[in-house]
Amino acid sequence: MHLRSRLIADTLLGLTLTLLLQAPASTVAQDHPESFDELTAGASSAREQGDIPRAIELYQQATQLNPKWPDGWWYLGSLQYGVNAYAPAIEALTHYIELTPDAGPARALRGLCEFEVGQYPQSLQDLQQGIALGAANQPRNAGIVLYHEALLLTRLGRFEEALGKYAVMVRHGTINEDVTNGIGLSGLRMPILPKDIDPSQAQLIAMVGRAAATFMSGDLTGAHQAFEEIFARFPTTPNVHYLYAYLLFPADPDQAIGQFQKELTISPASALVHAMLAWAFGMQGDYRIALSDAQKAFAEDPSLSMAQLVLGRDLMETGDIRGALPHLEAVVTTEPQNLEAHIALAKAYSELGRRDDAGRERLLCLALSGHGTAADANM
């Protein structure tokens, strides 16, 4: 295990325990009554007494005897995980999942094992499927599962998604050094895992992570101070103003715009920053100003979806709907789930009187957008 913090270790233990308690009632096939019954009884008493090596051995024998016994694979896999025997744990959990395909916690646990042995793409897939099947519904499990998902997203350069996961964790009170370092990595847009941090950058990463976590926890004044300290100490480091702007944007677009502009003095040719600045201006209704930043973003990196999205949106809002369409259509081709692109397309088709296309896009938007809270308050 590469985990340093006790908290994470505790959470891990919590996960394993909860998983164990949640294990389904056994559906034992009775092919080899005596020996099998003896093995299972021995295994569970060894497990209860904390004799893990013995329990593992007996579960191994029992599953050899009856490979269709899901509980056996489950106990075997989770006990092996508990003693860092990740490769055999993966094998055991794979048997369990074959017998019980919609087992969310088992998928998540296999994802954690895969993470430890460096099978990152499989790990992310398993963690996400596990979450979809409810593995993160319990706050205790949510911490460890989301943490690893966020690490893997960061590794793939999906920083904003990772920050979203961290924000959920922070809101649930899961803040520790591992988490803040993870936030630091995604905030600084470094597509690496914590184990690969260059020691010369460790302090910067830690400071950025703590500042962002402070913001996520709702302490905006504290976060402001923390960010100012970073700006003073690392005045030319890219992405910090961007991160602060990104966090500020939902509640204070004006201040966010100021921070995006500061980022541009450090990273003047960043397509992403120009695109986000265009987005922020657009959300304020200043589409004309937005358009010039969107054009810069697109010129800097035509393959960036965000650049295509803002350019399409800003062209549409400033009246060039036909010019907007190819950009918006390009975004939904590469990212069929991009809600903002579908929203913009619905409006563009609607302006052009393409009723059927607009109607289809609107239905897609309804399907893609989540169910928020009731809109029954005066806002």
Partner 1 sequence: MRICRVLLVSLLSCICMSAERGQETVTCARCHQKQASTQPGTQMGHAMQVPGDNDTLRAHPELTFRREQYTYTVKTQNGQTQYIVSDGTHSISIPVVWSMGAQAQTWLLDHNGRMYESLVSYYPSIEGLALTVGDDRLEPKTLEEAIGRPLLEEGVTTCFGCHASNAVIGHKLNLTSLKPGLTCEHCHVDAGAHLASIAQGDWTVFPPELKDLSSEDISNFCGQCHRTWELVVRAGWRGTSNVRFQPYRLAISKCFDGADPRISCIACHDPHQKVVRGASFYDSKCLACHSPAMSAAAPHAKVCSVAKVNCASCHMPKVPFPGGHFVFTDHDIRIVKPNEPYPY
Closest to ligand HEC by CB, 53 vs 359, is 359
Find which of ligand HEC, partner 1, none residue 21 binds, CB within 5 to 8 Å per kind.
none
Closest CA to 110 of 87, 144, 132: 87
Smallest separation (angstroms) from partner 1 to the CB of 320: 14
Closest to partner 1 by CB, 21 vs 366, is 366
Helices within 217-338 (DSSP H only): 220-233, 240-248, 253-266, 271-283, 287-300, 305-317, 321-334
Closest CA to 361 of 313, 334, 328: 328
Closest to partner 1 by CB, 108 vs 343, is 343
Cα torsion through 309, 314, 316, 322, rounded to 10: -70
Closest to partner 1 by CB, 33 vs 250, is 250
Closest to partner 1 by CB, 221 vs 373, is 373
Size of the site for ligand HEC (CB under 6 A): 2
The answer to the question of residue 374 lying near ligand HEC (CB under 6 A) is no
Smallest separation (angstroms) from ligand HEC to the CB of 379: 5
Closest to ligand HEC by CB, 353 vs 370, is 353
Contacts with ligand HEC in 169-188 (CB under 6 A)? none
Closest to ligand HEC by CB, 232 vs 377, is 377
102 SS3 class: coil
Token look-up 């006990």 returns 79
Find which of ligand HEC, partner 1, none residue 362 binds, CB within 5 to 8 Å per kind.
partner 1
Find which of ligand HEC, partner 1, none residue 255 binds, CB within 5 to 8 Å per kind.
none
| Residue 127 vs residues 108, 109, 149, 150, 328: alpha-carbon distances, Å | 5, 8, 6, 10, 31
Find which of partner 1, ligand HEC, none residue 339 binds, CB within 5 to 8 Å per kind.
partner 1
Find which of partner 1, ligand HEC, none residue 284 binds, CB within 5 to 8 Å per kind.
partner 1
- Are the CB atoms for 313 and 291 separated by under 8 Å? no
Q: What is the DSSP string of 297-313?
A: HHHH-TT-HHHHHHHHH
Report how far residue 15's alpha carbon sits from residue 187's, in angstroms, rounded to the nearest whole number.
27
Find which of ligand HEC, partner 1, none residue 236 binds, CB within 5 to 8 Å per kind.
none
Smallest separation (angstroms) from ligand HEC to the CB of 349: 14
Q: Which residues contact 43 (CB under 8 A, 6 or more apart)?
A: 55, 58, 59, 62, 72, 75
Q: Which residues contact 167 (CB under 8 A, 6 or more apart)?
A: 216
Closest to partner 1 by CB, 25 vs 251, is 251
Which of 232, 366, 374, 379 binds ligand HEC (CB under 6 A)? It is 379
Number of neighbours of residue 291 by Cβ within 10 angstroms: 21
The answer to the question of residue 232 lying near ligand HEC (CB under 6 A) is no
Find which of partner 1, ligand HEC, none residue 343 binds, CB within 5 to 8 Å per kind.
partner 1
Residue 26, both tokens: 């056994």
Binding site for partner 1 (CB under 8 A): 251-254, 284, 339, 343, 346-347, 349-353, 355, 358-359, 362, 365-366, 369-379
The answer to the question of residue 378 lying near ligand HEC (CB under 6 A) is yes
| Residue 232 vs residues 70, 178, 240, 241, 330: alpha-carbon distances, Å | 57, 25, 11, 12, 41
Q: Where along the sequence are the contacts to ligand HEC (CB under 6 A)?
A: 378-379
